[in-house]
Every structure is written in C-alpha cells, then in structure tokens.
C-alpha cells in the first residue's frame, strides 16, 4: 500500500498490453508513490476493455482503452514506449490536456523530434531512447572516455536486440554515438558509418561505426569499442530484463512533478549534467 503522506502520481501507460506496458504497470503497482490512472492501446488490441492489470491477477479498476482522451482524463503523466506515429498522436492529446510525458519511443525522425520540442513549450517532457539508470551512467562514462581518446582510437558501437525490434541501429546506440560525437566537437551525421559490406576501403579517421544484431529474445546489449594501437577499451552495458527501463521511467515521472513545461532527458533526471 502507498504511504498516504507521499504524493500519488497519477500515471497512464501507452501500449498497455505489450511487454513494456506490462512491465510499467507492474512497476507502478509495486511503487509507493505512483498509481495507474489510464491504459492506452491500439483499437485492434484484444486487451481493449479488459482490466489493465488482469495479467497480474489484480483488478486495478482501469480498463485498457483506445480512446486517448478517456484514457488520459485522470492522468497527470503519460509513459510512452510505443511507436513514433502513436507517440505523436498521444502527445497531441497530452498537450491539449496538460499531461506531462515520459517518452522512450525510438525511431523518431527529425520532423517528429521537432514536433516534440514544440510540444515541450506547453508541457513537460522527458525524452530518452533508453530510460535505464545503468545505460545513462554508461553514457556519462562514454562522454568522459571520448574526450580522452579522441585521437589514436577508432570507435565502434555494436548493439544486439530481440528479433522483433523494428528499427536499427537502436535509439540507445545512436544516442551513444551522439554523446561521443558531441564530446569531441562533432555532429554524428558527419562521422557515422552504418554497417559495412563489400570492398569498403580503409577506415577513415574520425568515423564512428555502427553494427546491429537481431535475434532471439535479447533485451538489449550495447558495446562501445575504442580500438587503439596495442590496446582496446570496451564499455559494455547489458540488460537482462525491461525492469530497469520501467524503474527509470518512474524516476522520470517523479522528476517531472511540479514542472510546467520544458524538454528534459535522463541526464537531467539523474543529475549527470
């Protein structure tokens, strides 16, 4: 039971019947300061109309709904780990209703990212391709390493995910590349190399290489290799479950409490600036 002295954060979950949605609902139920206030999913989901916590053998009193306004009516926060088109639709309603958002969706294009920046003029948003506390601490380590290893080392980012993931490289891998590029005074678009095939020629200095692996039920593994002459440094993060993402998302909810607008990321949430 939640401590009545603690503030109760009323949270809606998008993609409520998916794997990440289930993990978020379970984390909300187990938290002491959050309460499930809405559950959203696509109209074709077989879960529509069912109790959102039925998979836990628990009655939350919150039905899974495809009606965005109804699903967000009692919420102060939305957690969204869905797909770009869905996320944009959800954010439009959040903006209308004044609901803060935690966005972990990946595969967003530049126009969609610009729309999120615009929405943050009116509502508070935490957006990050990976909400895991460990991953974001890893990002900080990469920033430090990149500054010290900016010359004489080639950089490769290798990521592995489950066979159902639809975008590649992962949003986390791209964010790692952005952190490394920015730490060395560059833009990722100017130095990224995505995969290699055939006669590619000798590696160009200063490039950041990406490789993506898809298979089985891999939750998410990321390795960043700094390869120099006679030595190699590898910084690795491996996720064994989605629980870390859910925990980070709830930390983001708590961070947003009391904030009226603005766009933030997990470095802000975790005080890593």
The pLDDT tens digits of the residues spanning 128-161 come to 989 999 999 999 999 999 999 989 999 999 999 9
Tokens representing 142? 């990469």
200 and 66, same domain (yes or no): no
Residue-wise pLDDT tens digits, 262-273: 999 999 999 998
Q: Which of 9, 161, 175, 237 is catalytic?
A: 161
89 and 106, same domain (yes or no): yes
Domain CATH code at residue 197: 3.30.360.10
Of the CA atoms within 13 Å of residue 34, those in its CB half-sphere come to: 28
The answer to whether 193 and 177 have CB atoms below 8 angstroms apart is no
Tokens representing 129? 């391709």
Burial per residue of 229-265, b for 16 or more beta-carbon CB atoms within 10 angstroms, e otherwise: eeeeeebebebeebebbbbbbbbbbebbeeeeeebbb
The answer to whether 247 and 133 have CB atoms below 8 angstroms apart is yes
Residue 273 has a pLDDT of 81
* pTM (2 d.p.): 0.84
62 and 28, same domain (yes or no): yes
Residue-wise pLDDT tens digits, 190-206: 999 999 999 999 999 99
- Averaged over 54-60, what is the pLDDT? 95
| Domain residue limits at 32 | 9-127+242-270
Task: Report yes or no on 152 lying in a domain.
Answer: yes
- Taking 70 as the threshold, does the pLDDT of residue 99 lie above it? yes
- Averaged over 158-184, what is the pLDDT? 96
189 is catalytic: no
Three-state DSSP at 250 gives helix
Q: Helices marked H in 162-273 — which ranges?
A: 171-183, 243-256, 266-270
- Averaged over 97-126, what is the pLDDT? 97
First to last CA, the chain: 34
18 and 111, same domain (yes or no): yes
165 is catalytic: yes
Domain CATH code at residue 65: 3.40.50.720
81 and 168, same domain (yes or no): no
The answer to whether 223 and 160 have CB atoms below 8 angstroms apart is no
Strands 220-228 and 153-161: antiparallel
Total domains present in the chain: 2
Task: Report yes or no on 32 lying in a domain.
Answer: yes
In the block, tokens 């980070």 appear at 248
The answer to whether 142 and 224 have CB atoms below 8 angstroms apart is yes
């Amino acid at each position: 039971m939640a401590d009545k002295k603690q503030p109760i954060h009323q949270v809606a979950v998008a993609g409520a019947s998916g794997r990440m949605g289930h993990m978020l609902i379970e984390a909300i139920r187990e938290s002491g300061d959050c309460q499930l206030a809405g559950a959203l999913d696509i109209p074709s989901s077989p879960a529509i109309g069912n109790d959102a916590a039925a998979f836990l053998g628990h009655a939350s009193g919150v039905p899974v709904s495809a009606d965005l306004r109804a699903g967000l009516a009692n919420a102060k926060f939305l957690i969204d780990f869905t797909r770009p088109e869905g996320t944009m639709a959800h954010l439009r309603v959040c903006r209308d209703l004044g609901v803060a958002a935690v966005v972990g969706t990946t595969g967003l294009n530049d126009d969609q990212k610009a729309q999120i920046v615009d929405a943050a003029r009116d509502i508070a948003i935490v957006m990050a391709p990976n909400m895991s506390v460990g991953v974001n601490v890893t990002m900080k380590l990469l920033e430090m390493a990149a500054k010290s290893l900016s010359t004489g080392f080639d950089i490769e980012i290798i990521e592995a995910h489950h066979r159902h993931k639809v975008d590649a490289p992962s949003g986390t891998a791209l964010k790692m590349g952005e952190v490394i590029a920015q730490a060395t005074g560059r833009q990722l678009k100017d130095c990224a190399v995505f995969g290699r095939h055939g006669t590619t020629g000798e590696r160009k200095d200063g490039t950041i290489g990406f490789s993506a692996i898809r298979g089985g039920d891999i939750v998410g593994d990321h390795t960043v290799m700094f390869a120099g002459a006679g030595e190699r440094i590898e910084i690795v993060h491996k996720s064994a479950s989605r629980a870390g993402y859910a925990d980070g998302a709830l930390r983001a909810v708590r961070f947003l409490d009391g904030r009226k607008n603005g766009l933030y990321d997990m470095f802000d949430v975790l005080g890593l600036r």
